[in-house]
Amino acid sequence: MPTISNRGKRMPESPIRKLAPLAEQAKARGTKVYHLNIGQPDLPTPEVAIEAIRNIDRKVLEYSPSQGYRSYREKLVGYYKKFNINLDADDIIITTGGSEAVLFAFLSCLNPGDEIIVPEPAYANYMAFAISAGAVIRTVVTTIDEGFCLPKVDKFEELINERTKAILICNPNNPTGYLYSRAEMNQIRDLVKKYDLYLFSDEVYREFIYTNSPYISACHLEGIEQNVVLIDSVSKRYSECGIRIGALITKNAQLRKAVMKFCQARLSPPLIGQIAAEASLDAPEEYAINTYEEYVERRNCLIDGLNKIPGVYSPIPMGAFYTVAKLPVDDSEKFCAWCLTDFQYEGATVMMAPASGFYTTLGLGRNEVRIAYVLKKDDLKQALIVLQKALEAYPGNTHK
């Protein structure tokens, strides 16, 4: 029998999706499952996007240019200008979701064996993309007890060697909801400049910042313009996860030329997705305001509810729509599975993502979960009740 590649064996399962079969079995038994595991917003997609799809007037659904339609890229220049990110259309390459932007950045910037420094916990698929590119993730640990703030410079410099080629951040952060301060971003800038590294900056949650602290983009950092690769996506800000439209943005012309080779090899980003994404840029201002205000209310509802449960602690997320919460359990992966296989309260249970899957360092996140507050407040309130009842009933509760 043919063997599976080492790359295939090393590819991690998604901590967000790997319990999905257990959730489906629970539903088949008639149990309602509150999905707190995945960042799939339930808010409506902008009506202008839906209308643009309904009113497609084409005889052929053709290939689009490998870098994406120029009309869309030119409209994006205006979008980024609102955030004081000054671009030309040629700085922007449209990708099949933000995921492809990360993968193409790795493939274009890194050789097999090259290392990327990433604060952990981190979005689990970064590891998968690194494995795909033959690169190695090295992590600096952030902790829930310190609110997931960035470690000091020396923790980064301990990891830097001749194989180090990049730092990767997500700001605001998935899975923690942390927002990097100006001082932290300047610290990263100085490291990038000192060691001539790439800075991959995933900023898909920029619309969702809940403090008075400013949004500091990697593109705002002076002196490293040629080092910065901005990763973006429409999935979250417009509730358009399914249209698979992202962007890779860089001022580095040599890097764009390399990325374009991978873009040409995969032919083109989704045609219909670009039509919807371009139309979404014309969504009324009320859409963004209403979406933002709804997430603020959901965040407050979830965090207040979590911290009232005995033994549970969650810091207050400053951005995105996730939090990492500490639970009084012996093993969060076992607990999350147990909720789906052995527990229900009044016909319902909860599905969460074990936080250990967002750490590279073995043993970390063992009693933590990532929770996405993408459900309406009434559902969040019910999910919190179910979670508290599950913790009370769980045999491995460490708070009893």
CATH number at residue 308: 3.90.1150.10
Specify if 170 maps to a domain: yes
Specify if 400 maps to a domain: no
Q: Are residues 31 and 85 in the same domain?
A: no
Q: Taking Cα atoms as reference points, which of 88, 65, 63, 85 lies closest to residue 75?
A: 88
State which of 264, 280, 296 marks the end of a domain: 280
- Rounded distance between C-alpha atoms, residue 350 and residue 332, angstroms: 13
Specify if 182 maps to a domain: yes
Q: Are residues 274 and 306 in the same domain?
A: no
Q: Are residues 253 and 305 in the same domain?
A: no
* Count of structural domains, the chain: 2
Give the domain CATH number at 210. Answer: 3.40.640.10
- Residue 315 sits at the vertex; the CA angle it makes with 314 and 317, to the nearest 5 degrees, is 110
Greatest Cα pair distance in the chain: 66
Q: Are residues 340 and 254 in the same domain?
A: no
Q: Are residues 116 and 67 in the same domain?
A: yes
How many alpha carbons lie under 13 Å from residue 215 in its C-beta half-sphere?
A: 23
Supply the pLDDT for residue 224. Answer: 98
3-class DSSP state of 283: coil
Specify if 259 maps to a domain: yes
State which of 280, 305, 333 marks the end of a domain: 280
97-109 vs 253-265: helix crossing angle, rounded to 10: 120
Supply the pLDDT for residue 13. Answer: 79
Q: Are residues 123 and 259 in the same domain?
A: yes
**Contact status, residue 203 vs residue 174, Cβ threshold 8 Å:** no
241, two tokens? 């996860």
The count of residues in the chain is 400
State which of 256, 280, 304 marks the end of a domain: 280
- Rounded distance between C-alpha atoms, residue 188 and residue 184, angstroms: 6
How does pLDDT run along the chain (400 residues), one tens digit per residue?
A: 999 999 889 888 777 778 999 999 999 999 999 999 988 889 999 999 999 999 999 999 999 999 999 999 999 999 999 999 999 999 999 999 999 999 999 999 999 999 999 999 999 999 999 999 999 999 999 999 999 999 999 999 999 999 999 999 999 999 999 999 999 999 999 999 999 999 999 999 999 999 988 999 999 999 999 999 999 999 999 999 999 999 999 999 999 999 999 999 999 999 999 999 999 999 999 999 999 999 999 999 999 999 999 999 999 999 999 999 999 999 999 999 999 999 999 999 999 999 999 999 999 999 999 999 999 999 999 999 999 999 999 999 998 6
Specify if 398 maps to a domain: no
- Looking at residue 251, what DSSP letter applies? S
Specify if 1 maps to a domain: no
Residues 6+ apart with CB under 8 A from 318: 172, 177, 178, 179, 209, 210, 211, 213
Q: Are residues 75 and 154 in the same domain?
A: yes
Supply the pLDDT for residue 170. Answer: 98
User: At residue 229, what is the residue type?
Assistant: V
Q: Taking Cα atoms as reference points, which of 242, 160, 234, 247 lies closest to residue 197?
A: 160
- β-strand 164-170 against 353-354: which pairing, if any? unpaired
Q: Are residues 261 and 125 in the same domain?
A: yes
Supply the pLDDT for residue 382. Answer: 98
- What phi, psi does 382 have (nearest 5°)? -65, -40
Q: Are residues 239 and 330 in the same domain?
A: no
**Strand partners for 276:** none
Q: Are residues 150 and 228 in the same domain?
A: yes
Domain limits at 255? 48-280
Q: Are residues 135 and 186 in the same domain?
A: yes
3-class DSSP state of 350: strand
313, two tokens? 């602690």
Q: Are residues 369 and 384 in the same domain?
A: yes
Specify if 65 maps to a domain: yes
